[in-house]
Amino acid sequence: MDGRECSPLSGPGGVMTRSHDSDAYERARAVEEQMTDDERLSLVTSVMGTNPMSPVRDERIPEGTPMSAGYTPGVQRLGVPPLLMSDASLGVTNPGYREGDTATALPAGICLGATFNTRLAYTSGAMLGREAASRGFNVQLAGGVNLAREVRNGRNFEYLSEDPLLSGLLAGASVKGIQDQKVISTVKHFSLNCNETNRHWLDARIEEQAHRESDLLAFQIAIERGRPGAVMTGYNKVNGAYAGGNHHLITEVLKGDWKYPGWVMSDWGATPSWEFALAGLDQESGVQMDRLMWKNEPFVTDLPAALADGRLPRERLSDMVRRILGSMFTTGLDTPDEPPTVDLNAHRDLVLDTARQGIVLLKNDGILPDGLNQAARIAVIGGFAQLGVVTGTGSSAVTPPGGFAAVMKIGGPGIMGTARNLYLLPSSPLAELKKALPDKRIDFDPGMNPAEAALLAEKADIAVVFAIRVEGEGFDLADLSLPWGQDTLIDAVSRANPNTIVVLQTGNPVAMPWLDQVRAIVHAWYPGQAGGQAVTDILTGAVNPSGRLPITFPHSLDQTPRPQLAGLGSDWGTATTIAYDEGAETGHRWYAAQGHEPLFAFGHGLSYTTFEHSELAVTGGDNLTATMTVTNTGSRAGADVVQLYLTAAPDGPRLRLLAFERVELEPGASQTIDLRADRRLLARFNTEDHAWNLAPGRYRMAIGRTAHDHTLTGEADLDGSVFSA
Ligand code: BGC
């Protein structure tokens, strides 16, 4: 069952639950005590491998070391292995590093989010961990858990959802999957790194209570579930202080209230000062990026002097080192297994399965799943569908087995401009459709010119338009339109052919001025290296769609908390403040609080079968639990995602996702589901006493098909309680 309560986190000074862990932390202490200061200082930085941004080989990295985002030397005489860190959100990254290396290219994080499947998140993490270990990496910079607060955020595709419970549970499962392979996982970017625009100079402002009940809760759940060895801070400031030097966030919340035992690393190019160590930062990452950004490598150049003259207390340095060693020892980095042999075919099947479960059928007036099978002639239009599927751009990009189908340099201003590319993974939807429908006439038009595409569309029984958008690190979207005239293309094609289906590949919601003109819309996110096949399976009905939206699609930006995005378009280096005045009411919570009906709600996703929800029974007391029955009332096997929402607390209406469960059902089959809320989603955080206050009284809840479409309602009385952070 998903959404269970979590046990408290353990670690130094905290509640220790695993004897293996206490041994490991004891050992970390003993090893650290034997170190020289030079050895201690060598552990608290990482050096970036040779890549196009840092092209000269850094002599601190020994010959023969696999190049990637970070390298930290070990201390051989004490049995401390080096740290070899690789990026990770969508696979073991390689573009720019390790010429010729390839790895399984996963669907976007937000596609995993759309599966609502924690078991799959674990398996997917385990796959990442195996592939990392097979290449000699023992740290994955995975686990992006920032909430999709802003539908223009260029990096939402790397994250999971707009909801703290969904993001926290999926990230936690994925982290555990990675770490079970003896590879440390990192959750990032702590916290409120919710926009890319001028991210190095961005001040994210939020009330403490709201932060605890939203973005911080996502991190808290992910950390409790996954026990990641490392946490990476964001580029941005939070309430005026850089995340990497934010004493409140790192020392008071993460290490204090949550008793986090692991180490805190900066993002690459996010440590302007050695004093961040005083705020709680344990490791400066990719030091050459700091030199590029801030003309300094502060933990390399300034920390030794600060230690020598006492500005950096010796206990702080010991703590930094012990945290790193503790994570190494609890994860087993000091007793590595033989590098695993990777079964690339099995991994391909897994990413295919993830895409199949994460693709969301947004609209279907009945044309799917039989339309393509019944058509004699099909026009496939646009989106480079003859070549492959899109993946996001930035540090998460992965060269798939066999290489990219194409890479187009897009460019743009700022430090990330040179790395901004249209990447196409070689899983061509056109080729897959031809394979699946060998008897049909399938013609392709590149969609370059709407009038030309319309000429082909009008001759076909069905037109399928593939629409794409490049999104990625360093760039926010200026609006929700499709680039390169694709909205005009869809308009022209759908006027020429009344049976038009649109397949979207984006990492965020899309404005759909043509919504009423098309018969079906399939949202494929960035579907990974087997994406063309997964899309084809959904279009032909070989697979019944089951993805659910992990992010609300607005009618327009006017419905969102910030119709204007602060700083958008400003020059690189411009200080910008974003006030998250919506507070904890992010995503679907915001729409409910404002009374807005979105275009497509959080949790929405159609199926080729139908599900009925019945027999809701709710109990209260110290927590809220619900039992209900879901029945597949249609004629195909399929999966439903049962969602339990809080709709009102004693003090008034409040929407919160409390628990969810993905259920696979044969036609006619029923299953009884037990759901249990995480009490923090029923309570309010009290900043005075750093505790959650669950008010006594009557709570109302609903089972929903989406956050806004409820099938069953119930209520229960809860005892009041106060529990710790
Ligand atoms: C990204 C991180 C990434 C790091 C190392 C940064 O630009 O924000 O997510 O882990 O680079 O590549």
pLDDT, mean of residues 596-615: 98
With beta carbons less than 8 A apart as the criterion, state whether 191 and 243 touch. yes
| Residue 378 shares a structural domain with residue 301 | no
**Cα distances (angstroms) measured from residue 565 to each of 198, 557, 562:** 12, 10, 6
How far apart are alpha carbons 265 and 280 in whole angstroms?
A: 10
Q: Is the pLDDT of residue 1 over 50?
A: no
Domain boundary among 331, 357, 381: 331
Atom 4 of ligand 1: nearest residue by CA position? 268
Closest CA to 397 of 419, 428, 374: 419
Q: Is 267 touching ligand 1 by the criterion CB < 6 Å?
A: yes
pLDDT reported for residue 465: 99
Cα 391 to ligand 1 centroid, rounded to whole Å: 17
Residue 577 lies in a domain: no
- The atom number, within ligand 1, closest to the CA of 395 reads 12
| Residue 292 shares a structural domain with residue 367 | no
Which tokens go with 263?
């180490």
Give the pLDDT confidence of 260-269 residue by residue, as tens digits: 999 999 999 9
Which region among 86-95, 382-391, 440-449, 589-598 has the lowest average model confidence (pLDDT)? 86-95
- The atom number, within ligand 1, closest to the CA of 141 reads 10
Residue 288 lies in a domain: yes
How far apart are alpha carbons 632 and 664 in whole angstroms?
A: 9
Residue 91 lies in a domain: yes
| Residue 434 shares a structural domain with residue 304 | no
How far apart are alpha carbons 663 and 111 in whole angstroms?
A: 18
Which tokens go with 453?
């595409």
Q: Is 141 touching ligand 1 by the criterion CB < 6 Å?
A: yes
Atom 6 of ligand 1: nearest residue by CA position? 268
Average pLDDT, the chain: 95
pLDDT, mean of residues 137-146: 94
Residue of 267, 487, 640, 678 with catalytic role: 267
How far apart are alpha carbons 585 and 582 in whole angstroms?
A: 5
Atom 11 of ligand 1: nearest residue by CA position? 268
**Residue numbers of the domain that contains 636:** 609-724
Give the pLDDT confidence of 58-94 residue by residue, as tens digits: 999 999 898 899 999 999 999 999 999 999 889 999 8
Residue 410 lies in a domain: yes
Q: Is 337 considered catalytic here?
A: no
> What's the pTM value of the predicted model, to 2 decimals?
0.97
How far apart are alpha carbons 480 and 469 in whole angstroms?
A: 10
Whichever domain contains 660, its CATH number is 2.60.40.10
How far apart are alpha carbons 645 and 651 in whole angstroms?
A: 16
Atom 5 of ligand 1: nearest residue by CA position? 69
Residue 578 lies in a domain: no
| Residue 625 shares a structural domain with residue 546 | no
| Residue 492 shares a structural domain with residue 536 | yes
Domain boundary among 306, 331, 356: 331
Which tokens go with 367?
């044309």
Cα 555 to ligand 1 centroid, rounded to whole Å: 32
Q: Crossing angle for the helix pair 531-540 and 429-436, nearest 10 degrees?
A: 40
| Residue 298 shares a structural domain with residue 437 | no
Number of domain units in the chain: 3
| Residue 320 shares a structural domain with residue 352 | no
Q: Is 265 touching ligand 1 by the criterion CB < 6 Å?
A: no
| Residue 278 shares a structural domain with residue 326 | yes
The Cβ of residue 650 has, within 10 Å, a number of other Cβ atoms equal to 15
How far apart are alpha carbons 591 and 437 in whole angstroms?
A: 42
| Residue 91 shares a structural domain with residue 157 | yes
Which region among 86-100, 436-450, 524-538 has the lowest average model confidence (pLDDT)? 86-100
| Residue 162 shares a structural domain with residue 278 | yes
With beta carbons less than 8 A apart as the criterion, state whether 283 and 320 touch. yes
Percent of the chain scored above 90 by pLDDT? 92
Q: Is the pLDDT of residue 112 over 70?
A: yes
Give the pLDDT confidence of 463-514 residue by residue, as tens digits: 999 999 999 999 999 999 999 999 999 999 999 999 999 999 999 999 999 9
With beta carbons less than 8 A apart as the criterion, state whether 228 and 191 touch. no
Cα 394 to ligand 1 centroid, rounded to whole Å: 8
Cα 318 to ligand 1 centroid, rounded to whole Å: 26
Give the pLDDT confidence of 563-601 residue by residue, as tens digits: 999 999 998 899 999 999 999 999 999 999 999 999 999
Domain boundary among 284, 300, 331: 331
| Residue 517 shares a structural domain with residue 614 | no
Residue 592 lies in a domain: no
pLDDT reported for residue 95: 80
Residue 11 lies in a domain: no
Residue 252 lies in a domain: yes
Whichever domain contains 145, its CATH number is 3.20.20.300
Cα 487 to ligand 1 centroid, rounded to whole Å: 32
Sign of the Cα pseudo-torsion (266, 270, 272, 278, in order):
negative
pLDDT reported for residue 98: 86
Q: Is 188 touching ligand 1 by the criterion CB < 6 Å?
A: yes
| Residue 554 shares a structural domain with residue 411 | yes
Closest CA to 321 of 23, 9, 27: 27
Q: Is the pLDDT of residue 12 over 90?
A: no
pLDDT reported for residue 96: 81
In order, the DSSP letters of 530-562 are THHHHHHHHHHTSS------SSPBPSSGGGSS-
Q: Is the pLDDT of residue 5 over 70?
A: no
How far apart are alpha carbons 96 and 397 in whole angstroms?
A: 10
Give residue for tokens 């046990």: 7
